[in-house]
Amino acid sequence: MGLQGAMKSKCAPWRVPTKLEKLRLKFVTCPKSHWSSRAEASQHPGLLPPTTLWVSRASSPKAALSPAGITEILMNRPHARNALGNIFVSEMLDALVRLREDQKVRVLLFRSGVKGVFCAGADLKEREQMSAAEVGVFVQRLRGLMNDIAAFPAPTIAAMDGFALGGGLELALACDLRVAASSAIMGLIETTRGLLPGAGGTQRLPRCLGVALAKELIFTGRRLSGVQAHALGLVNHTVDQNKEGDAAYHRALALAQEILPQAPIAVRLGKVAIDRGMEVDIASGMAIEGMCYAQLLTGKETWFRGAERTLEALRLRRVFNSEGDSDNS
């Protein structure tokens, strides 16, 4: 068996990429499940693995455009509008496992490589081919994916530059922060198709907007624009869409850059205190906050940040004194 035959047996089906896909391949890192190394991938530029998700990191050319510490998960399944199928979910779960233990990941950003779409929700065409038992297993895996995103230790941001429907909005709801283009369309529309949100939507939406409003949106299957979602508090920021169709991504990137200078352990513990505290009464929440604060005091981060501020104050004092001396001379 030749090299190409061996590769087909390992990662079939293979295909020759389009010019656009070749261009994209130059700027993203393929998941380890398809290539043992980036060097191996570069030796076979004429072939693309059947990947639907790429992780862009500080070591890749594309991530070099962003500050170190911001990692992007790029969803790219154009023929299915980033619909959540079995392979897509598996790749996302694998990516989260790899990134969870990486202390260099300070902010995780979810974005789409498909213009006009964030995520169209569950892959209903794939679902039609499943038995009832298989559907139950798939929905459970989908729910587990959203739980893993919500439990990711570093802050997560969803950059919604297009449609985020059903499971797509549930994915965004699992993130800590959401940024949407004004033209983005989002909603939990499952009731319009004889279903109900099954990947956390019935639980995370009322925690985000309140019970009455969440019920109204789910009962009606209403779709919201980015502007409407911002007015309700569903997204943190909304921006006018640009010609490239990635305005929300750039605003999300700016938001991530605001987080980067802050103490990483303090940010992570702040996330724990808020997330865990929201699940209990306020007295228990205060106890959780106390435990998180105690962990911070026992670590080195408090001293390190304090030392940084002290050094900065001394530097400014020296600058001020030197300027004063020059004025007096």
- Whether 190 is a known active-site residue: answer yes
**How does DSSP assign 230-257, residue by residue?**
HHHTSSSEEE---TTS-HHHHHHHHHHH
How far apart (Å, rounded) are the C-alpha atoms in residues 191 and 185? Answer: 17
SS3 state at 304: helix
SS3 state at 15: strand
Catalytic residue among 83, 122, 154, 180: 122
- Spatial strand order in the sheet of 117-119: 117-119, 163-165, 185-187, 224-225
- The residues, any chain, with a CB within 8 Å of residue 18's CB and separated by 6 or more, are none
Catalytic residue among 72, 190, 199, 252: 190
How far apart (Å, rounded) are the C-alpha atoms in residues 94 and 31? Answer: 9
What DSSP state is assigned to residue 32?
Answer: T
- The residues, any chain, with a CB within 8 Å of residue 172's CB and separated by 6 or more, are 110, 118, 119, 158, 160, 164, 178, 186
The closest of 12, 103, 111 to 53, measured between CA atoms, is 111
Partners of 75 in beta bridges: 53, 112
How far apart (Å, rounded) are the C-alpha atoms in residues 191 and 219? Answer: 7
- Whether 170 is a known active-site residue: answer yes
**How does DSSP assign 66-122, residue by residue?**
S-TTEEEEEE--GGGTT-B-HHHHHHHHHHHHHHHT-TT--EEEEEESSTTEEE--B
C-alpha separations of 310 from 313, 314, 319 in Å: 5, 6, 14
185 φ, ψ (degrees, to nearest 5):
-120, 130
- Whether 134 is a known active-site residue: answer no
- Whether 83 is a known active-site residue: answer no
Please give the biggest Cα pair distance in the chain: 87
Catalytic residue among 72, 158, 168, 170: 170
Catalytic residue among 167, 168, 198, 200: 167
Would you name the residues annotated as active-site residues?
A: 122, 167, 170, 190
